[in-house]
Chain A
């Protein structure tokens, strides 16, 4: 190439900005994570939290006195919950980014378009009616049955949504939202009906569960959600370049070398896996998948690789921070975390609609 060609080079205007923003999101996650281990009925200094974590990793745990109490609080009570919040937040945010990429629309949020309610319906149905089946299932299936039920519910919801909202490869915003609202309402009505049948004891539990709570966080639950979330994030990163091309349109993505149908099938399955796992362990938590990718698109740009990495970090940070608020605001009682994220997310959503009134036509 000649010197004249070099002179025409462009500069990648966003390249210099993306990396600091991603590092910033990762830093926010670290801060929120340490804060969530430090804050609670017993406040433990952040430095102490970090030394407890390091000691547990490299030396073993203290066995007596106030150090032991702090270690128990941090490692046994708060750590699984913080990890679960981070996993669920990352899953929801990345699922949002991926759904938005596939639907070519920034309004697709798993909670808003009926995917999470679909997962919740299936999970609740399993809890109430699954008992009869449980004894016939092999142990592995039985122990993961709630996740599989939620996965199946979200998969069915996404497939229905896709069928209803997409016509000849194009998704209209109106159809997407109407179909999503209808699916969500139907699924919520179904969930309500099952709760109506359920006993008084189950009722209270269900109400809290559908509003979202990380209160029941345990290591087995963490291990339940982790592989699905890893699958979702890894798969999304693998699809990132194709998602960028899909922004041009389905035909254009094909012209550019993307196997569009295969990409959509993979995306639908991994979103269902991630959302299903998130809902199975924490109920419906809305707006994370809407707010986080949008903030990142505004700052770091719409390229899906950075969008997905950033969404994983920022989604995890947002949900971890929301959980601190949820469990301390009305202490010793707990706010459902879905209420906290809705209070952050709904005003943001309204602002978003006003900002984009013209372009969403």
Chain B
């Protein structure tokens, strides 16, 4: 269990995250949605252990995050940032291999890295230099890296994703969400910051709607995604429609 309780983050006298509690259980996908500057990424950084909250506490496996060292934490959770610039000319397969523990044997590593690259549909680029890949391809290689990190440690850890679909084309957006679901099905937990509300509704068991650092709604997508929520969240008048699979939002209804 990954649980954050009453998190507050202050920076420059401003409250970026204001009294947020969030829980992530194995087998579940939780999506954080909200407008730019709502504090989504900051909240993700707090959960990742990268940033200390000003108040509140994050617990992982019932132990305060302060007591986890970087090495132990890396075995239990992996983090996909919005984008990663790599300093030296590493190959895609070498980037993915950075997710593996040092003691991994050569053949084990080869299989795991190969499997991770295949999962994100990047096998063709294994031997290419990371810098020569497009933005979306880089993001997929990074996803393969964090998958390799979790798979190498039992495959049941927590996956924290910061806008994993931002630079991807439609098929790869869907493939990424499929990977998130599969990870949850395999017994891991997934927390994803997502901008596309429709994608969030598709993938998530639970949505957390964040605005100005506060949770304004949380729950199953079918229960909370309404015209009222869209107005409250984005100050946009939109019509939420429904199909048996859940609510969806047609951008056209906003413009026309």
Q: Which residues of A are at the interface with B, using a C-beta cutoff of 8 A?
A: 1, 5-6, 8-15, 104-106, 241, 244-249, 251-252, 254-260, 297, 301-303, 359
Find out whether the CB atom of B111 lies under 8 angstroms from the CB atom of A6.
Answer: yes
Find out whether the CB atom of A248 lies under 8 angstroms from the CB atom of B93.
Answer: no
Identify which of B88, B131, B149 gathers the most chain A CB atoms within 10 Å of its CB. Answer: B88
From residue A164, how far is it (CB to closest CB) to chain B in Å? 19
Find out whether the CB atom of A255 lies under 8 angstroms from the CB atom of B131.
Answer: no
Identify which of B95, B123, B126 gathers the most chain A CB atoms within 10 Å of its CB. Answer: B126
With A6-B111, A247-B88 as known contacts, state yes or no: A259 contacts B70, CB within 8 Å. Answer: yes
Taking A5-B111, A255-B78, A359-B131 as known contacts, 16 extra A-B pairs with beta carbons closer than 8 A to each other, sorted by chain A number, are A1-B111, A8-B114, A8-B117, A10-B127, A11-B110, A11-B127, A15-B106, A104-B87, A244-B90, A247-B86, A247-B87, A254-B49, A255-B48, A255-B146, A302-B90, A303-B94
Counting residue pairs across A and B whose Cβ atoms lie within 8 Å, the total is 104
Bound CA–CA A10/B117 (angstroms): 9
B111 interface neighbour in A9, A13, A301, A303, Cβ under 8 Å = A9
Q: What is the chain A residue whose CB lies nearest that of B72?
A: A257
Enumerate the 6 nearest inter-chain pairs by beta-carbon distance, A residue then B residue, closest first: A257-B74, A302-B88, A104-B87, A8-B114, A255-B79, A9-B114
Q: Which residues of B are at the interface with A, using a C-beta cutoff of 8 A?
A: 45, 48-50, 69-75, 78-79, 81, 84-91, 93-95, 98-99, 102, 106-107, 109-111, 113-115, 117-118, 123, 126-127, 131, 146, 149
Query: Chain A residues near B75 (CB, 8 Å)?
Result: 257
Bound CA–CA A120/B132 (angstroms): 41
Bound CA–CA A1/B116 (angstroms): 13
Query: Chain A residues near B78 (CB, 8 Å)?
Result: 255
With A106-B88, A244-B98 as known contacts, state yes or no: A258 contacts B70, CB within 8 Å. Answer: yes
A8 interface neighbour in B50, B86, B115, B131, Cβ under 8 Å = B115
Query: Chain A residues near B115 (CB, 8 Å)?
Result: 5, 8
Bound CA–CA A231/B88 (angstroms): 25
Query: Chain B residues near A303 (CB, 8 Å)?
Result: 90, 94
Query: Chain A residues near B70 (CB, 8 Å)?
Result: 254, 257-260
A13 interface neighbour in B48, B91, B146, Cβ under 8 Å = B91
With A9-B114, A10-B113, A303-B94 as known contacts, state yes or no: A249 contacts B126, CB within 8 Å. Answer: no
Query: Chain B residues near A8 (CB, 8 Å)?
Result: 111, 114-115, 117-118, 123
From residue B179, how far is it (CB to closest CB) to chain A in Å? 15
Q: Is the interface of B mostly helix, strand, loop or mixed?
A: helix
Q: What is the chain B residue whose CB lies nearest that of A105?
A: B87
Find out whether the CB atom of B93 lies under 8 angstroms from the CB atom of A13.
Answer: yes
Query: Chain B residues near A244 (CB, 8 Å)?
Result: 90, 94, 98
Bound CA–CA A8/B113 (angstroms): 9
Query: Chain A residues near B90 (CB, 8 Å)?
Result: 244, 247, 301-303
Query: Chain B residues near A12 (CB, 8 Å)?
Result: 93, 106, 109-110
Q: What is the chain A residue whose CB lies nearest that of B49?
A: A254
Bound CA–CA A43/B32 (angstroms): 76
Query: Chain B residues near A11 (CB, 8 Å)?
Result: 110, 126-127
Bound CA–CA A8/B127 (angstroms): 14
Bound CA–CA A167/B58 (angstroms): 27
From residue B175, how far is it (CB to closest CB) to chain A in Å? 16
Query: Chain A residues near B93 (CB, 8 Å)?
Result: 10, 12-13
From residue A301, how far is it (CB to closest CB) to chain B in Å? 7
Find out whether the CB atom of B73 lies under 8 angstroms from the CB atom of A249.
Answer: no
- 29 A-B residue pairs with CB within 8 Å: A8-B111, A8-B123, A9-B107, A10-B114, A12-B93, A14-B94, A15-B106, A105-B87, A244-B94, A244-B98, A247-B88, A248-B86, A248-B98, A249-B85, A254-B50, A255-B48, A255-B79, A255-B81, A256-B74, A256-B98, A256-B99, A257-B72, A257-B74, A258-B70, A260-B70, A297-B89, A301-B90, A303-B94, A359-B131
From residue B165, how far is it (CB to closest CB) to chain A in Å? 19
Find out whether the CB atom of A259 lies under 8 angstroms from the CB atom of B71.
Answer: yes
Query: Chain B residues near A256 (CB, 8 Å)?
Result: 74, 98-99, 149
Query: Chain B residues near A13 (CB, 8 Å)?
Result: 91, 93, 126-127
Find out whether the CB atom of A249 lies under 8 angstroms from the CB atom of B91.
Answer: no
Find out whether the CB atom of B69 lies under 8 angstroms from the CB atom of A9.
Answer: no
Bound CA–CA A297/B94 (angstroms): 14
Bound CA–CA A15/B113 (angstroms): 14
Identify which of A11, A15, A302 gathers the most chain B CB atoms within 10 Å of its CB. Answer: A302
Find out whether the CB atom of B74 lies under 8 angstroms from the CB atom of A301.
Answer: no
A255 interface neighbour in B50, B87, B102, B117, Cβ under 8 Å = B50
Find out whether the CB atom of B88 lies under 8 angstroms from the CB atom of A245.
Answer: no
Identify which of A9, A241, A245 gathers the most chain B CB atoms within 10 Å of its CB. Answer: A9
Query: Chain A residues near B102 (CB, 8 Å)?
Result: 241
Q: What is the chain B residue whose CB lies nearest that of A262?
A: B70
Bound CA–CA A301/B91 (angstroms): 9
Bound CA–CA A8/B123 (angstroms): 8
Bound CA–CA A91/B115 (angstroms): 40
Query: Chain B residues near A359 (CB, 8 Å)?
Result: 131
From residue B162, how far is it (CB to closest CB) to chain A in Å? 10
From residue B41, how far is it (CB to closest CB) to chain A in Å? 11
From residue A136, how far is it (CB to closest CB) to chain B in Å? 44
From residue A222, how far is it (CB to closest CB) to chain B in Å? 33
Bound CA–CA A326/B169 (angstroms): 59
Bound CA–CA A6/B48 (angstroms): 32
Query: Chain B residues near A254 (CB, 8 Å)?
Result: 49-50, 70
Query: Chain B residues near A259 (CB, 8 Å)?
Result: 69-71
A257 interface neighbour in B71, B111, B114, Cβ under 8 Å = B71
Q: What is the chain A residue whose CB lies nearest that of B75?
A: A257
Bound CA–CA A245/B142 (angstroms): 12
With A9-B111, A10-B93 as known contacts, state yes or no: A245 contacts B81, CB within 8 Å. Answer: no
